[in-house]
Amino acid sequence: MRVMSYAAMAAYICALAWDFVLYFQVKPPDNQMCLWALLGFFFPLGICFWLLARALRREPWFDPAATPAQIGPSLGAPQEALRAAGLDESGRMPAEQRARTLAMGAPPRRWLCYVAPPYVAARLHRWGWFALMLPLCLVALVFAIIVPVRALVVYGFMGALADRFRALQLLRLDAARAQPDEPPAHKPRRTRPAKG
């Protein structure tokens, strides 16, 4: 997997270099259309390239020499799901997070994750991903006209992320509803020292 990832990244860099060469070979004004097409393809694939490069640099499961202890539990392990949802090992959450989770309520339906991923990210207060998904949606709409398969890839990537956010919200919501209300912490009453 690591070798294939490096090969894919190298092929992507070569393809971008060849696109730039073609851009300088095409005469104006046709080269302006080449430039817009190049930027349109670069944006979504550039994000995937960045995620892959970050995984190769940081994630131990991309390293064939990593030990099971370094890799840690798989993404399907219960402990990993609890950690991703912001819960401790017993499935409890801090009072502030519990209040925010209950205020957000139930997440949108699953089909919305794949139809309108930016809406799901906004509903679940994932503002960073919302800012990333909104322009990606616009690029995917352009791809739907030019290259429909690539539009499906971009939408599938965003839909999978939105579906994961939805699953984490459901896990948090179940934990918040199962957690008993904690009594408010009260300060001990101050007593005046006795005179005399």
- Residue 37 has which token pair? 């097409």
Amino acid at 109: R
The neighbour count for residue 166, using CB atoms within 10 Å, is 21
- For residue 111, pLDDT beyond 80: yes
Average pLDDT rounded to a whole number, residues 136-153: 77
Which of 41, 183, 110 is closest to 49 using CA atoms?
A: 41
Q: What pLDDT score was predicted for residue 135?
A: 85
Which of the two residues, 192 and 120, has the higher pLDDT score? 120
pLDDT digits (tens, 9 = 90+) for 54-78: 777 777 666 767 776 666 655 555 5
Task: Read off the pLDDT of residues 12-58 as tens digits, 9 standing for 90 and up.
Answer: 788 777 777 777 777 767 667 767 767 766 776 777 778 778 777 77
Indicate the helix (H) or strand (E) that contains 134: helix 127-146
Mean pLDDT computed over 133-147: 80
Q: What DSSP assignment string belongs to 5-57?
A: HHHHHHHHHHHHHHHHHHHHHSPTTHHHHHHHHHHHHHHHHHHHHHHHHHHHH
- Compute the average pLDDT of residues 154-163: 85
Q: Is the peptide bond before 118 cis (omega within 30 degrees of 0)?
A: no
Q: Give dist(CA 185, CA 141) in Å, integer.
A: 52
